[in-house]
Amino acid sequence: MADEARKKEILEKLRNGVIQYDEDACREGANEAVAEGLDANEAIFDGLVSGMEEVGRLFEAQEYFVPEILMCADALYAGLDILKPHCKQMDLGVKGSVVIGTVEGDVHDIGKNLVKMMFDVAGFHVYDLGRDVPLDKFVDEQLKTDSELVCLSAMMTTSMVGMPKVIEKIKAKNPNCMIMIGGAPTSKDLADKWGADGYAEDASNALKEAIKMVAFLKKLRDEKAAKQ
Amino acid sequence: MNSRERVLKLFKKEAIDRVPCFSGMGNITETGINGLGYKFAGIHLDAKQMADTAATTYKLFGYECGVMPVDLCVEAEAMGCVINVYPHAEGILYPTIKEKLIHNEAEMDTIKIPDGFSEKGRIPLMREAIKLLKADIGNDVAVGSYVLGPFTLAGQIMELNDLLKLSFKKADKVAKLLDLCADAIILTAKEFEKAGVDYITVREMGATSDVLSPRVFKNLIMPPLQKVIKAISCHTVLHICGKTNDIVTFMVEAGPTAISVEQKNDVAESRKKLGNDALIFGNVDAYNVLVSGSEDLVRSTVRKCIDDGVSAVWPGCDIWPTVPPQNMKAMIDETITYGGKK
């Protein structure tokens, strides 16, 4: 096990690799973390995710825009792919699976992919239905996988109107399932009106919401660890 | 002064009796489609059905224009993309691109505009539809059409994800592709002009400052956009979605007759920035106000838009077809009663 100073150095490398969209640095940092026996979950949360939080902040401050975020996401995945096989299964008391996709009539999937990334990071099992997904497929997939979360995304006003139908159908069959909607034309009002549990209007907000959700899970994990 | 004269005078910045209520983007309604006995999926593929439907928003509600097409895939389809009109959908689904033309970075260099472009895809159908619409309501209202902006078209013919990253990493390559897209758009717009449209809206929806920095907008998006607008001889409106307050000056610099913005733009601020002479359209929330809002909300929104200084009451996006008829009537009625007072 590396000493504290070295550990900090590796975490910093992962964090900065994400912020500076440097895939090589993330790969290198991840390999070092594995070789030197760093806890993979810690490397992910305190390195990669911590970097992504800063990216979210830079986006909000309008220093970063969508192209930068996409490159940061590539860097995060470069590290995550290496670290993931070394992760301990997080026991969070939830099954941790999510169905995610862009609704039929919409072929935009950038926001959806960013949210998916944060679920990947959190160790969720992600059932990614892709884009232009027929509405009934969300309902079927939720039932089939018994996922506790369904995320619906749309970037065009012309496609988001399919959302309430899916929400209604899923809630009718499985009232406890949480539903998050997102995309440029959605709003808090619409989410409330349609009975969704969460909403994110753009990639940055989706990222923030997902980070919040993941941060919450991390807190649960830490609390659990502290009790043991 | 009839609606046509009012709109055309507005474009020429001549005196008019009140602000008009019209749009350069999609505005067909389910009320209109059902009244004709048509199906949404069918009207994209039939010139007569498209023209008939486009005329209903004027005929039923007095909306002061006729606009076609209904979807956003005309140019990409003519370039060679396969589109999906969702023929079996129960509800309303707008056509999307099923197959991209560019699958990897290398193909960005080899792509070409197909020979005989003006006869490809639905461009002949569009010419026919515009003529039919002109013959039907062309004496009463201005007839408009729209094309995409080069960046938005590029995002249809290749993965948007890749396009965005490359516009950062390899701006030169993207600039070349955008220039080619601009040429395809110009060819399309020329055909619409020949068929007799009075104005063309250029929809550069993907280039909003929600997505790209104002710097990238200026360096990469502007040059091909300027090229398109310059090449169109009829009146032009440049529309960009999302937060546009930071780029309204660039939008005007791109050279259109008017600019169009959605509800995320603070029009009072834009008006201050651009002065009294600029034509600013838009700002009516096409979904949350027009479709799901009450009549009162529609009326108060129209008044606010006019107070903030719009030159025309104009929904900031395509009107979703399930718009309640009473809301359409309220928008137009409020424009007529309030729009002359300013």
Residue A58 within a domain: yes
B312 contacts B339 by C-beta, under 8 angstroms: no
Name chain A contacts of B169, Cβ cutoff 8 Å: 71
* Among A residues 59-118, those touching chain B with beta carbons less than 8 Å apart: 62, 65-68, 70-71, 74, 104-110, 113
B209, B216, B318 member nearest A157 (Cβ): B318
- Average pLDDT over chain A reads 85
Q: Say if residue A63 is in the same domain as residue A21.
A: yes
Q: Calculate what percentage of chain B has a pLDDT beyond 90.
A: 90
pLDDT of B306 higher than 90: yes
Q: Contact at 8 Å (CB) between B66 and B137?
A: yes
Inform me whether the C-beta atom of residue B90 falls under 8 Å from chain A C-beta atoms.
Answer: no
For the domain that residue A154 is a member of, what is the CATH number?
A: 3.40.50.280
B288 and chain A in contact, CB less than 8 A: yes
Would you state the torsion angle of the CA atoms of residues B248, B251, B256, B258, taken in this order, to the nearest 10 degrees?
A: -20
The tokens of A171 are what? 């809630």
CB B2 within 8 A of CB B296: no
What's the pLDDT at A180?
86
Q: Does residue A112 sit in the same domain as residue A47?
A: no
Confidence at residue A211, expressed as pLDDT on a 0 to 100 scale: 63
Least confident of A10-19, A191-200, B185-194: A191-200
> Cβ separation of A71 and B165 shorter than 8 Å?
yes
Which residues does A179 contact at the CB level (< 8 Å), separation at least 6?
A149, A150, A151, A152, A166, A167, A170, A171, A195, A196, A197, A198
3-state secondary structure of B315: strand
Contact flag B213-A62 (C-beta cutoff 8 Å): yes
**Residues A175, A109 within the same domain:** yes
Does residue A224 form part of some domain? no
Distance, in Å, from the CA atom of A142 to the CA atom of B151, rounded to the nearest integer, reads 36
| A158·B169 Cβ contact <8 A | no
Look at residue A218 and tell me whether its pLDDT is greater than 70. Answer: no
- DSSP-based three-state secondary structure for A204: helix
Cβ pair B311, B319 in contact under 8 A: no
Q: Identify whether residues A40 and A108 lie together within a single domain.
A: no
Residue A158 has pLDDT above 60, yes or no: yes
Q: Helix, strand or coil for residue B340?
A: coil
A189 touches chain B (CB under 8 A): yes
Q: Does A190 touch chain B (CB under 8 A)?
A: yes
Question: Cα dist. A105→A131, B74, B137, B207, B237 in Å?
Answer: 9, 16, 31, 21, 26
Asked if residue A185 lies in contact with residue A158, where contact means CB atoms within 8 angstroms, the answer is no
Which of A109, A135, A157 should we substitute to test contact with B (largest number of B Cβ atoms within 10 Å)?
A157
Asked if A180 and A101 sit in the same domain, the reply is: yes
Greater confidence, A146 or B238?
B238
Dump pLDDT digits (tens) for A90-130. 545 455 788 999 998 888 888 888 888 888 887 788 999 99
Task: For B157, name the nearest residue in chain A, comparing CA atoms only.
Answer: A107
What is the per-residue pLDDT for A93?
47
Write out chain A residues lying below 8 Å of B292, CB-based.
190, 193
* A104 and A196 inside one domain: yes
Say yes or no to pLDDT of A201 above 80. no
| A104 and A203 housed in the same domain | yes
Q: What is the pLDDT of residue A204?
A: 59
* Residue-wise pLDDT tens digits, B178-208: 999 999 999 999 999 999 999 999 999 877 7
Q: Identify the band that residue A88 occupies on the pLDDT scale cut at 50, 70 and 90.
A: confident
Rounded average pLDDT over A45-68? 90
Instruction: State how many domains chain A has.
Output: 2
Ranges A194-203, B51-60, B122-131: which has the least confidence: A194-203
Question: Average of pLDDT values for B145-172?
Answer: 95
Is A215 domain-assigned?
A: no
Query: Is the Cβ of A162 closer than 8 Å to some Cβ of chain B?
Result: yes
B292 and A106 within 8 Å at the Cβ level: the answer is: no
Q: Are residues A68 and A131 in the same domain?
A: no
For the domain that residue A32 is a member of, what is the CATH number? Answer: 1.10.1240.10
User: For residues A149 and B324, which has the higher predicted lDDT (pLDDT)?
Assistant: B324
Residue B69 near residue B104, CB atoms below 8 Å: no
Q: Answer whether residue A218 is part of any domain.
A: no
Contact A184 B86 (CB under 8 A): no
Q: Which residue has the higher pLDDT, A209 or B259?
A: B259
Q: Tell me whether B97 touches chain A (CB under 8 Å).
A: yes
Which of A66, A108, A187 has the CB atom closest to B288's CB atom?
A: A187
The whole-number pLDDT of residue B211 equals 84
**Does residue A45 have a pLDDT over 50?**
yes
The set of residues, in sequence order, having a beta carbon less than 8 Å from that of A228 and lying 6+ positions away, is none
Q: What is the pLDDT of residue A155?
A: 77
**Does residue A43 sit within a domain?**
yes
Nearest CA distance, A164 vs chain B (angstrom): 13
Record: contact B292-A184, CB cut-off 8 A: no
A185 to B287: CB separation less than 8 angstroms, yes or no: yes
Is the pLDDT score of B209 beyond 80?
no
Contacts of A190 in chain B (CB under 8 A): 288, 292
Q: Please check whether residues A73 and A110 belong to one and the same domain.
A: no
| Chain B contact set for A105 (CB, 8 A) | 86, 93-94, 96
Residue B87 to residue B89: CA distance in whole angstroms: 6
Does A110 lie in the same domain as A61?
no
Residue B118 is classified by DSSP as: G
Shared domain for A78 and A107, answered yes or no, is no
Report CB contact under 8 Å: A67, B165: yes
Please give the distance of CA B251 from its chain centroid, rounded to a whole number: 15
Q: Is B292 on the interface with A (CB under 8 A)?
A: yes
B92, B164, B287 member nearest A66 (Cβ): B164
Q: Is residue A114 part of a domain?
A: yes
Q: Give me the DSSP letters along A137-202.
A: HHHHHHHHHT-SEEEEE-SSHHHHTTHHHHHHHHHHH-TT-EEEEESTT--HHHHHHHT-SEEESS
Fold of the CATH domain B3-338: TIM Barrel (3.20.20)
**Same domain for A129 and A194?**
yes
A217 within a domain of the structure (yes/no): no
In chain B, the residue whose alpha carbon lies closest to the alpha carbon of A69 is B165
Contact partners, residue B294, CB within 8 Å, separation at least 6:
none
Nearest CB neighbour to B211, from listed A65, A104, A158? A65
- CA angle, residues B263, B52, B233, in degrees to nearest 5: 60
- Of residues B179 and A180, more confidence is placed in B179
Cα separation, A4 vs A159, in Å, equals 50
Phi, psi for B83 (deg, rounded to 5): -110, 160
Query: pLDDT tens digits for B5-16?
Result: 999 999 999 999
Q: What whole-number distance in Å separates Cα of residue B336 and Cα of residue B339? A: 5
Cα nearest neighbour of B246 on chain A = A62
| Boundaries of domain holding A201 | 97-207
Which of B86, B167, B317 faces A105 most closely, judged by CB atoms?
B86
Higher-scoring residue by pLDDT: A176, B63: B63
pLDDT in the model for residue B90? 74
- Option in B86, B168, B213 nearest A71 (CB): B168
A44 assigned to some structural domain: yes
